[in-house]
């Protein structure tokens, strides 16, 4: 954006105004150490604000969805996130009227929305409500695949808009993004039925319920307040979860968080490394991202359903008329371990790839790891009642938000310290993190159909 004042983004060597910046073009006045440093600090503090607030609000949104249904909280959180994007567009549209510091308000709104982590958590809760155990992996796989398809199609759409007039109207792509997000919210509210049945007559209005809760909190001791505010309370022994199920849920949460952290940590470094080592530009980086995310989409939307269909017979312990009568943990565990193995091989491939083609092939291998995200989340939701699914995935969102803060920081610092001597070291570290996630899977103990923590029947849609 360039900035709106010299105090925030350095002295402007041209006319000193942000309107001198041409969006989408090379701007010489931005290519100096002061601008680079200010941009890095702005991004750092902004991400910290969004991630910390997101970690706090995600479990709260999850609990709300368990009580008031999935659609309303998901629409509300998405609307707040839309507001965050709208603020960014306004800053870019009116750079001389709005200070660049308004960007922190956008990060604030993003954090209050729970970030994209909360969106995926509530969507996954919805899918869990609508599917039984044997279908849960496929349902969540489709959700994750849709997200990865968006990551793959986004750069392509942006490039198409740029070639078809975006260079004349550089804000067009941002307006299009706002319109698409708004259309998604309207579609959600108008056409998507609620998945979690509840008696609206027995529910208090949200404002009344909030006042009641705040009144009750004021009468509690500090110990009681701390216990009730604990975002990870569902993992405690007081959650009411059967001991074996709780052990497995904790182990799966650890595995999922490590995988998510490793993925987030490596994301920016991959682009920096490829540009530094192979001389890639925006075109090559965009092609790489689209290719890898396309294979992630194929892995979760095609390969995962095929694996669930044809491998189930080799892991099932109880089959009646060729239909599995209970959740088969062994198959879930096998898929998680295979996906982790593909990540390990892929990131080692990143480290040793001598050219861009093999580097991209390594990304394709690592793309199979996307199956592990969907499968681990699905396996977790099979061990709690539907009335606590939102709380569970909200707690997982808290862990992922913490990983979003720590992992990119560690990976970026490691790369900056070693880029002159041994640039691929960070990929070896990420591979080691996936090995640790694989080791954590051995803490998981497959449950039998008779275990009290297992549930099979899905809750039907409210409108059905």
Instruction: Return averaged pLDDT per consecutive 10 residues of the chain, 464 residues in all.
Output: 41 49 59 63 84 91 88 94 94 85 93 92 91 88 92 80 67 87 94 76 52 55 63 80 87 95 90 88 84 95 93 66 52 94 97 95 96 93 85 92 90 87 93 96 76 48 46
Helix then strand then coil, in percent of the chain rounded to 5, is 75, 0, 25
- Residues 306 and 26: their CA atoms lie apart, in Å, by 47
Q: Token digits for 455?
A: 């549930």
- Residues 388 and 372: their CA atoms lie apart, in Å, by 22
User: If DSSP codes are grouped into helix, strand and coil, which group holds residue 365?
Assistant: helix
Q: Which stretches of 192-316 are DSSP H helices?
A: 206-218, 222-229, 243-278, 282-298, 304-310, 312-315
What is residue 26's predicted lDDT score, i.e. its pLDDT? 52
CA–CA distances in Å: residue 441 to residues 152, 292, 407: 30, 25, 20
Count of beta carbons in the 10 Å neighbourhood of residue 400: 29
Which residues, 6 or more positions from 18, have their beta carbon under 8 angstroms from its beta carbon? Answer: 1, 2, 3, 4, 95, 96, 100
Cα Rg of the chain (Å, integer): 23
Looking up tokens 């994209």 gives 116
Which residues, 6 or more positions from 95, have their beta carbon under 8 angstroms from its beta carbon? Answer: 1, 2, 3, 4, 17, 18, 19, 21
Q: Which helix (H) or strand (E) holds 336?
A: helix 329-352
Q: Token digits for 358?
A: 């093999």
CA–CA distances in Å: residue 264 to residues 10, 166, 259, 400: 30, 30, 9, 10
> Could you give the count of Cα atoms lying within 13 Å of 104 in the half-sphere of its Cβ?
11
What is residue 135's predicted lDDT score, i.e. its pLDDT? 87
Of 387, 293, 370, 326, the residue nearest 136 (C-alpha): 326
What is residue 47's predicted lDDT score, i.e. its pLDDT? 85
What is residue 447's predicted lDDT score, i.e. its pLDDT? 66
Q: Token digits for 329?
A: 């943990």
Which residues, 6 or more positions from 274, have their beta carbon under 8 angstroms from its beta carbon? Answer: 280, 284, 285, 288, 356, 359
User: DSSP letters of 375-400?
Assistant: HHHHHHHTTS-GGGHHHHHHHHHHHH
CB 402 within 8 A of CB 47: no
């Amino acid at each position: 954006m360039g900035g709106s004042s010299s105090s925030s983004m350095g002295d402007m060597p041209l006319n000193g105004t942000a309107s001198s910046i041409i969006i989408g073009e090379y701007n010489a006045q931005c290519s100096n150490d002061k601008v680079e440093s200010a941009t890095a600090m702005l991004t750092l503090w902004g991400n910290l604000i969004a991630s910390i607030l997101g970690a706090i609000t995600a479990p709260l949104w999850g609990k709300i969805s368990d009580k008031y249904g999935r659609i309303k909280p998901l629409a509300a959180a998405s609307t707040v996130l839309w507001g965050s994007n709208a603020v960014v567009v306004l800053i870019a549209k009116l750079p001389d009227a709005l200070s660049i510091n308004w960007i922190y308000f956008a990060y604030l709104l993003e954090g209050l929305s729970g970030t994209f982590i909360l969106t995926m958590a509530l969507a996954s809760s919805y899918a869990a409500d609508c599917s039984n155990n044997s279908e849960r992996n496929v349902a969540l796989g489709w959700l994750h695949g849709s997200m990865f398809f968006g990551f793959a199609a986004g750069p392509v759409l942006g490039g198409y808009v740029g070639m078809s007039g975006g260079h004349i109207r550089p804000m067009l792509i941002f307006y299009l993004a706002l319109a698409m997000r708004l259309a998604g919210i309207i579609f959600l509210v108008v056409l998507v039925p609620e998945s979690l049945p509840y008696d609206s007559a027995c529910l208090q209005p949200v404002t009344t319920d909030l006042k009641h809760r705040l009144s009750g909190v004021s009468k509690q001791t500090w110990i009681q307040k701390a216990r009730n505010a604990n975002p990870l309370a569902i993992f405690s022994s007081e959650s009411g979860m059967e001991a074996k199920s709780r052990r497995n849920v904790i182990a799966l949460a650890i595995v999922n968080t490590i995988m998510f952290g490793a993925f987030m940590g490596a994301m920016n470094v991959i682009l920096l490394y490829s540009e530094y080592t192979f001389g890639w530009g925006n075109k090559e980086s965009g092609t790489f991202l689209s290719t890898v995310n396309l294979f992630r989409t194929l892995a979760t939307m095609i390969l995962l359903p095929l694996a669930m269909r044809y491998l189930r017979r080799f892991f099932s312990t109880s089959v009646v008329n060729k239909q599995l009568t209970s959740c088969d943990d062994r198959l879930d565990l096998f898929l998680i371990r295979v996906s982790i193995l593909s990540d390990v091989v892929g990131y080692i491939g990143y480290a040793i790839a001598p050219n861009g083609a093999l580097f991209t092939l390594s990304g394709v291998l690592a793309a199979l790891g996307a199956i592990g995200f969907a499968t681990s989340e699905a396996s977790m939701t099979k061990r709690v009642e539907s009335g606590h699914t939102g709380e569970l995935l909200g707690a997982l969102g808290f862990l992922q938000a913490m990983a979003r803060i720590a992992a990119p920081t560690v990976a970026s610092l490691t790369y900056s310290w070693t880029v002159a001597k041994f640039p691929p070291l960070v990929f070896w570290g990420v591979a080691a993190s996936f090995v640790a996630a694989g080791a954590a899977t051995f803490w998981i103990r497959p449950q039998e159909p008779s275990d009290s923590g297992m549930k099979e029947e899905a809750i039907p849609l409210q409108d059905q």
